[in-house]
Amino acid sequence: MSVAPLTDRRGRRDAGSIVQPGRAAFWLYPIVLALGAASVVPNFVRLSSAAPSGAIVLSVVIHTLWLIPALAVITHLDLFEREPLSFCVAAVLWGGVVATGFALVANDNVLSYLSKLDPKFATDWGASISAPVVEETLKLLGVVMLILINRRVFESVLDGFVFGALVGLGFQVVENVMYALYAAIQAGETWTGGIMASFFVRAIVNGLWSHAAFTAMTGAGVAYVVVGVRRRLAVRLAAAGALYAVAWALHFVNNSPILEIVLERTDWYLTIVQIVLNGLVVLAIASFVYRLAARQEYRWFAHAVGDEPDLLPLRELAALASNKTRKEAVEAARREHGRKAARAQSRLQRAQLGYGVALARSADPDSDPGVARWHRRIDRARAQVVAADAEPPESPDAPTPHAKTRRELPEVP
């Protein structure tokens, strides 16, 4: 996130709304969404009509149950504030409707062209060539569209990472439902088994490191071009291009028959092995990009509250560095003083996070009522922490209050 205050030209704070009538991209988005729907909806109608009765319901239900925790994980990747709900919805819709709809048409055209050149090559390698170029570009354009609608929402590389992951997730779920319907049609009377097998391979095995991870990396690259103003434009563009190339290469390997060609055999478990091996690389690279973005986000936050040692002492500031260190601080409070102390510690962390964000965004922190409100919340939460610490431990095994002075401080990134 940047430390510049988020205000419009009249000095009013921008809450991150997607409703931006003054931006051409705001009006372009629903038009492109309708065009994507014009491709996706007929395909769903055709597949559901050809599939056995109940196939569409089962496919949608199981993939929705998978989608809910995936959304929860992705939306909690931003360390210091949640992304605007309207933008999260718009990102998922772009991936599921726009990117999928245009990809259905573009991939068919590319595969048709390759088949005319070399039918066998198109069969073996067509998906590996077409999908990475078409799909990664269409998903990346979703992040670009969101930036054009409201630039202020993209304050950090981490924002691009999160929105990219949401775009990829939308694409992934809609594509997986379509493949599940294909599987049901091919399986005939055993259509439930076909759907569950498709779900297992595409959502469970491949779902942890597929489209969401690919577009998270490219989204981070796009955001870096926008927010990394301290670096030269050429450097930022090179970084974004490198991340796109990495996502393309990983997508290519994921779709390719490399392992089958090397081992000169075709087995379904070889496909799973290749997906897992490639997926571990995807997960490692995406995690590395995320850590870099999260450290940049933490440095922004630490800079914003650097002159507030009373409200955010060094140890508490270090505890806010990641979701892991926050949980460790809350868990330590629970072990030492019980559940009431843990709840008070969690409330204090939320107040400190809100205060830091409000402080960084404010044009005049000394007179900003929003900053003052979070200041009061910190005071109330700290009073609750002190009161909870003063109470006797909930169990005889709990450490004494003096034990907390001997804890090692969380490492500051």
For the stretch 111-123, pLDDT in tens is 999 999 888 888 8
Q: Residue 4: pLDDT above 80?
A: no
Quote the pLDDT of residue 104: 95
**Using CA atoms, how far apart are residues 251 and 370, in angstroms rounded to an integer?**
45
**Using CA atoms, how far apart are residues 10 and 3, in angstroms rounded to an integer?**
19
CA-to-CA dists, residue 71 to 65, 75, 76, 212, angstroms: 10, 6, 8, 10
**Using CA atoms, how far apart are residues 301 and 309, in angstroms rounded to an integer?**
13
Q: Residue 244: pLDDT above 80?
A: yes
**Using CA atoms, how far apart are residues 256 and 258, in angstroms rounded to an integer?**
5
For the stretch 308-332, pLDDT in tens is 777 788 888 888 888 888 999 999 9
Question: Is the distance from CB of 350 to CB of 335 less than 8 angstroms?
Answer: no
Q: Shortest CA distance to 214 belongs to which of 265, 289, 264?
A: 289
Mean per-residue pLDDT of the chain:
86
Q: To which residue do tokens 């926050």 refer?
A: 326
Question: Is the distance from CB of 296 to CB of 229 less than 8 angstroms?
Answer: no
Q: To which residue do tokens 């450490």 refer?
A: 399
Domain regions of the chain by residue span = 24-304, 314-406
At 198, give phi and psi (nearest 5°): -65, -40
pTM reported for the whole predicted model:
0.84
